[in-house]
Structure 1
Amino acid sequence: MKLFRKTRTRVGAWILNRQAKSVKRIVNVISLKQAKNIAIVFDAGDKGIVDEVNRFIKSRTEFGTNFTLLGYIPEHVTEHNYISDKKKTFFTVKDLGFFMYPQSESVSAFIESTPDLLVVISRYYYFPLHWVVKLSKARFKAGASKPFGDDLDFMIELNEQNDIYLTDQLAHYLGSINENKMA
């Protein structure tokens, strides 16, 4: 249903801004070493990003970190073989309401959870991902400065050539946060 999509998205953005005013979250700067629960929001339609997410999770398994993943599959991805489970959830355009925001229970549960760290991995702006990032109650939000920089606590500026290595950059900079100076 592509009818009036831009208008419906604008109304959805207005609803998002109203709901975001009532979100209460505790911001707590945390290093990657201290984060025990990490939530990752990502563009599941981009194979490079999916590989990057899997690589990041694999690199953190030895630290006993719990991961919760939420992937958005854009409508231009016609074929996907992703299966949701307790740790991984995927949603598509079919899971969006009339005003283009996610309405599934699993996405709502993800938004309401309070992980230590929320990592956002996407090259492109998608309103449903913006909805999740802005309303998330994560204690610390990190990702690339574009496209969701205004809603993040920690941003990495990446150029076009090396944006696939966002998780490496986040691991480096979040890993070097001094734990001794944190209260």
Structure 2
Amino acid sequence: MDFFKATRIKIGTMLLKSGLKKRKREVAAVGLNKVATLGIIFDASKEDNQKQIKEFIKSWPIGDLQFSAIGFIPDHKIENNYISDKTWSFFSEKDCDFFMQPKTESIQQFCNNKLDLLLVLDTHYHFPIEWISSMSMAKFKAGKSGDYDASLDFMIDLQEDSLEKLLKELKHYLGQLNS
């Protein structure tokens, strides 16, 4: 990462901390069997990530699940195979302000939605994903231990950076919660 972008992210982090002081959320541990509303934030730079997440949602233990997913594409250009609809939306760095904070209306709505569970499915660090996970009003936030620890309530420590492994571990441990 170049010095200029690192400086922009550092200032964005300070603005994020300032914005978090104004937000109060209710924290409640929720297992997979109790989740009615699910939010997912993920790195969409690999097309395979979206396929794995779709399979994860299909294997959900409850039939009446309402979910929404936001995919971050680190490149400035979103290809044609990333089409947004009511449940899936995608954004890139061009949808962020100068300090790398997402500025679209759909992301603001996602953050204000009081979801039962938010899954942060990113095995690498991206500041816009940290911003969304921190600003989210979800009752319970889970993801990979490491870069997003400050914004998560439940963390999985992985030895390998694999989305497949992260999904498997989250399903296992969150499936046992509240049962």
Fold similarity call, TM over 0.5: yes
Alignment of 1:2-13 (within 5 A): 4-13=4-13
Deviating 4+ runs (over 6 angstroms): none
Note closer, same or farther for the CA distance 1:42–1:111 as it changes in structure 2 (3 Å cut). Answer: same
The aligned residue for residue 167 of structure 1 is 167
| Contact 1:48–1:164 (Cα < 8 Å) also in 2 | no
Counterpart amino acid of residue 21 in structure 1: K
- After superposition, where does 1:94-173 map in structure 2 within 5 Å? 94-160=94-160, 162-173=162-173
Q: Are the aligned partners of 1:49 and 1:122 in contact in 2 as well (CA < 8 Å)?
A: no
Give the equivalent residue in structure 2 for 1:21.
Answer: 21
Q: Provide the TM-score with structure 1 as the length reference.
A: 0.89
Report the AA paired with residue 24 of structure 1. Answer: K
Taking the TM superposition and a 5 Å limit, the aligned residue runs for 1:41-52 are 41-52=41-52
Q: In 2, are the aligned partners of 1:123 and 1:147 still within 8 Å (CA)? A: no
Counterparts of 1:174 and 1:77 in 2: how far apart (Å)?
35
**Equivalent position SS for 1:23:** coil
TM (norm. structure 2) is: 0.91
Listed as ranges, the gaps of 5+ residues in structure 2 are none
- Counterpart position of 1:84: 84
Task: Check whether the contact 2:26–2:139 (CA below 8 A) recurs between aligned residues.
Answer: yes
Alpha-carbon distance, 1:176 to partner:
0.6
CA distance in 1, matches of 2:62, 2:157: 28
Deviation of 1:66 after TM superposition, in Å, equals: 1.0
Q: CA RMSD in A?
A: 2.0
Q: What is the percent sequence identity of the aligned residues?
A: 39
Q: Which runs of 5+ in 1 are unaligned?
A: none
Please state how far the C-alpha of 1:23 moved relative to its aligned partner: 1.4
